[in-house]
Copies of this chain bind each other. A is one copy, B any other.
Amino acid sequence: MCNTIESSHYKPKEECGIFGIYGHEQAANFTYLGLYALQHRGQESAGIASSDTHHIYRYAGMGKVLDIFTEYHIENLKGTMAIGHNRYSTTGSSFLRNAQPLRAESRLGPIVLAHNGNLINTEDMRRKLVDEGSIFQTSIDSEIIIHLMAKSGYNDFKDALIHALKQLTAAYSVLIMNREKIYACRDPFGFRPLCLGKIDGAYAIASETCAFDIIDAEFIRDIEPGELIEIGPNGIESFYPFDNINVKKQSLCVFEYIYFSRPDSFIFGHSVHEMRLKLGRQLAIDSPVEADLVIPIPDSSISAALGYAMESGIRFEKGMTRNHYIGRTFIEPSQKIRDFGAKIKYNVVKSAVKGKRIILVDDSIMRGTTMRKIIKMFRNAGATEVHVRISAPPTKYPCFYGIDIPTKSELIASTHTIEEIVKYMRVDSLAYMTTDSLLKAIDRKDMSFCNACFTGRYPVEFVQPEDENLKFQFDAGNGEFY
């Protein structure tokens, strides 16, 4: 049997990473490196589009950045401006046609777009557009932005873009390029991050600051929620085209801090690693337990586990290794191997845990199946007690703003009580953070966060289309395969 390793859906999936640069001789190569640094945000496909003010060049492929682009591609992505995109996606729509950046010809000339986020409540708009005769060629929601621009009636590119964005609620951090300029915009809620950097006088934009580090760019500041940046021959300009923007309405995705972003990135103005340290410390305060070792599930929980160890005084230990030579699929023996799905990725350092009471720190539990296997692996390795501490509240609700989280019925915290989970996982104790603790730890009074996946309180209401006929829009691309 040939299995997909990711099928376990052990962790939520970020749906995209974006990068752009204007005014640099090495535009395509830097975009390539930026996307490489943002690879953790999406590994299904990647693409780069560039412009030399005369033509737009574009290349995209399935897989990872280093596998897709050759020197030939980078050399032919001409010009001093470029935008790029890493995509993660659900299996069903995994094909090249959906790789971004999208490109289209319109009355405004060529439009190229790279979108991180998930547009919601666009059913009516899409229906209206289609009713008026627009055709959709991809199955990704981002295509609607280009249609709205093309139908705006405005002759000015920026006016058309603003017109389009104003019709959308959320969630988007988006890069848009025409032959002459790059536009970057973050929705007024600020769900997804977007950062501004500078290198050799050229401006760069990226989902996370780690993409600046690799090219030696300097991090300037975040693009603010509701801010639109235009970068062109006359330099950079900032606009706030949306009304009624206020900090209270902001809904920064707290999961970026908890799990998605790289620990070496600065997100929403603060260090991701520092945030996770704080979460770990708070977790230790809230849910202490007597034990010998604090062990992270590598690699994402290391920072939180360090925080927990620091606060509790319990020794931090490397109790697991992670196999990084992993691919998309592996061949499973017909004879069942115990906990195979976890073993292909992890192994316990037996000598470290034998005879020890351990605290496993992780940042989230989705279905719980992998965590259960991991716990069993530690028990088999001789751990006498296994306590699990999660550096976030229980994940109970799906996300509609750009994260791929299992449905409610699949989320173990949604269908089971803590006691039930403890029993199912055969763990000695299990503790999550509370939402209050989470916010206390983050300690950002200047900002407000989206906690919908924990609380079900969605900052922007999501209208589920009732009319089955509306379902047609998801068929563009269905049955397309790579």
Contact = CB atoms under 8 A, between A and B. Distances in A.
Interface in A178-220: 200, 210, 213-216
A256 interface: no
A200 B335 CA distance: 11
A276 B10 CA distance: 30
> What's the dominant secondary structure at chain A's contact region?
mixed
B56 A337 contact: no
Interface residues of A, number: 106
Contact of A331 (B32, B324, B333): B32
Considering residues A76, A150, A316, A473, which has the most beta carbons from chain B within 10 angstroms of its beta carbon? A150
| Copies of this protein, total | 4
Interface string A327-362: 101111111011000011001111110000000000
Contacts of A315: 310
Contacts of A317: 306
A183 B43 CA distance: 40
Contacts of A2: 70-71
B475 A321 contact: no
Nearest to A65: B325
Nearest to A344: B214
A216 B133 contact: no
A39 B214 contact: no
A136 B105 contact: yes
Given A33-B333, A59-B480, A310-B315, A347 B111 contact: no
Interface string A73-98: 11010100000000000000000110
A479 B338 contact: no
Interface of A: 2, 25-26, 29-30, 32-33, 36-37, 39-40, 43, 55-59, 64-67, 69-71, 73-74, 76, 78, 96-97, 103-107, 109-111, 130-137, 146-147, 150-153, 200, 210, 213-216, 262-264, 266, 270-271, 273-274, 302-303, 306, 310, 315-318, 320-321, 323-327, 329-335, 337-338, 343-344, 347-352, 472-473, 475-476, 478-481
